[in-house]
Structure 1
């Protein structure tokens, strides 16, 4: 995979994505089905437990933060698996010839952005894995002798006191948690990765405009700019519904995590797990909003690059090309849901403020 290879490689290991599905298609289909069924069963058991504990605020908040995370993961998988053609259109957009680096300087610029994507991917994955490892160890370290504990609160329609059933359930939860982590991180950074690549292309476009010679075609730069806009629109069309659901669920998760943390002993593994989980959620939302904000800012720099170029020496026809591009860059590229829930720093601040307000409401309700 030439575009976001790290993300798609992880999704391939998880059975969600295959670049060449026709090879060993039966084995791949069975593996994909097993992973999807496993995660959906785990999520369903968590949601059932959530409904059963709806009258208890403390138990409800304890179930909410993990069940909503996996519910979001299920929505992501449904969107990803049912809209493969849309995803292929996004990939083909980023494979266009005009998007490819032509010179050594452009290759260095592209490499810097690819390294940035890899760094954010690894940081997010490490935080998520650390939280998953802690969740897995909690039943082993703090399990009481007269009751069975699992990494996640979930409903089981059988007696888990039986050692065999307990081990099967425990193993199922461990697998679900770690597969969910890899799929969640890969898909989250897939959105951010496409946005970062769009920022890279905007920098390339500005760089090419700044080097524009009198005898070169300005139409190539305008086409490049237009194709970047088309790629961003395809990313928005494919991911925006999932982004909105993610923000809504993460707002609830932030509230419940803030509510649960003060109730844990600071020296326990439960406190550390919730803290790492909370930091991971904040990091996830921040990365979405930060790079969405960067996309807006960088898309407006096209006008500056044109203004600083040698446009007075160009022919009237070429100036018209640049005027069209400047007009297109005035509003910038924004990823939003019909103008709402846009990826920006303002949205991030709103989510944090709202989650804290709801946290205070939960505190008053529980007292």
Structure 2
């Protein structure tokens, strides 16, 4: 009963994540209904075909433009959308190849999930954590969806704007992509490409939202459990329990901490490649879209501003949760030391000392081991973005 309750609560906390996974034809647990299986297979197949083609056409256009007209103002506006597409493909590949790992992580989480009845303080921590997670997921989804929606409707809005003013304007495509044929020669080709770019662009965003919500959701739950563990440790020695009861309680705390460390390691292993590519591309994407907003494309200013906001929040959330895990794990040692450990028996003190030593060893998400994911990393990314921007600005003025 407790395990079923845990799985239900975890599933509810990742409701938005699961919804967007369904939109790209992906699910951590295979559906049992035949109609759902067919729909899932079709959607997955379309996503697998459309997204790589979309990214390939963007990269091709970037290559052709940089070859024919290697000016800063021509090349830079193409980089951030192409980089976003590359990151989406990477995350989609990780989702597919690590599907069983993610499913197992959710099953493992259910075995240590805090289910009722809980102490008042633990229940308050749990409620606040899940509430803040839902709010964060909703805002993140809204920002990303509004950004891609503005990109999708911008060509139509420009057409209406010029049409109302009595001027001629030819509707372009949503994204700047290269195709091996003239898409404007026949109307059906133009309409087909426009619809293709809307769906493929949306799919890239759905992939991004799915993976980011999954990572932040799992990270949030690790942080929640670390905070509850701190409360358990602080309460040690406060009751008139027997030595055997105190011993079992200390052992239970150690076992929970070990499970959380193992859970973190599994999650780190699943996302470490994505984190590396995320960090490598984020500075470049932020720099290029900022340069485009300020100097190049006023017509796409709102869409690019939303893209900038989504990029800053996306890498910011990853670093925020990474930093939180570092801090909360360090507080485990403080909580154990601040408990009434001196009232416990010698054997309880000995194993509590082992827990303190282990908690003093930092745990952190990494980018393939090159750097820890923390707010210091976020600060470094923003600093690099500004440095790249000043370099581009200098090159632009020289041209």
RMSD: 1.9
The answer to whether the aligner puts 1:300 opposite 2:330 as a matched pair is yes
Once residues 27 and 138 of structure 1 are traced to their aligned partners in structure 2, the CA distance between those partners, rounded to angstroms, is: 31
Match of 1:157 in 2: 180
The answer to whether the aligner puts 1:326 opposite 2:356 as a matched pair is yes
Match of 1:282 in 2: 312
Secondary structure at the counterpart of residue 155 of structure 1: coil
Q: Is the Cα contact below 8 Å between 2:226 and 2:332 reproduced in 1?
A: yes
Deviates more, 1:84-93 or 1:166-175: 84-93
Once residues 69 and 356 of structure 1 are traced to their aligned partners in structure 2, the CA distance between those partners, rounded to angstroms, is: 19
Match of 1:49 in 2: 61
Match of 1:363 in 2: 393
Q: Is the Cα contact below 8 Å between 1:202 and 1:298 reproduced in 2?
A: yes
The answer to whether the aligner puts 1:242 opposite 2:274 as a matched pair is yes
TM-score by length of 2: 0.86
The answer to whether the aligner puts 1:191 opposite 2:215 as a matched pair is yes
Shift in CA distance, 131/338, structure 1 to aligned 2, threshold 3 Å: closer
Once residues 45 and 167 of structure 1 are traced to their aligned partners in structure 2, the CA distance between those partners, rounded to angstroms, is: 17
TM-score by length of 1: 0.93
Match of 2:227 in 1: 203
Q: Is the Cα contact below 8 Å between 1:264 and 1:270 reproduced in 2?
A: no
Q: CA deviation at 1:168?
A: 0.6
Shift in CA distance, 347/97, structure 1 to aligned 2, threshold 3 Å: closer
Q: CA deviation at 1:141?
A: 2.2
Shift in CA distance, 26/62, structure 1 to aligned 2, threshold 3 Å: same
Q: Which runs of 5+ in 1 are unaligned?
A: none
Once residues 74 and 61 of structure 1 are traced to their aligned partners in structure 2, the CA distance between those partners, rounded to angstroms, is: 21
Give the structure with higher Rg (CA): 2
Q: CA deviation at 1:27?
A: 3.9
Match of 2:97 in 1: 82
Deviates more, 1:68-77 or 1:103-112: 103-112
Match of 1:10 in 2: 20
The answer to whether the aligner puts 1:262 opposite 2:277 as a matched pair is no
Q: CA deviation at 1:287?
A: 1.0
Match of 1:94 in 2: 109
Q: Is the Cα contact below 8 Å between 2:284 and 2:385 reproduced in 1?
A: yes
Q: CA deviation at 1:18?
A: 4.7
Q: Which runs of 5+ in 2 are unaligned?
A: 1-6, 163-167
Match of 2:165 in 1: none
Deviates more, 1:132-141 or 1:16-25: 16-25
Q: Is the Cα contact below 8 Å between 1:306 and 1:322 reproduced in 2?
A: yes
Q: Is the Cα contact below 8 Å between 2:91 and 2:211 reproduced in 1?
A: yes
Shift in CA distance, 5/317, structure 1 to aligned 2, threshold 3 Å: farther
Q: Is the Cα contact below 8 Å between 2:24 and 2:207 reproduced in 1?
A: yes
Q: CA deviation at 1:5?
A: 3.1
Once residues 116 and 299 of structure 2 are traced to their aligned partners in structure 1, the CA distance between those partners, rounded to angstroms, is: 48
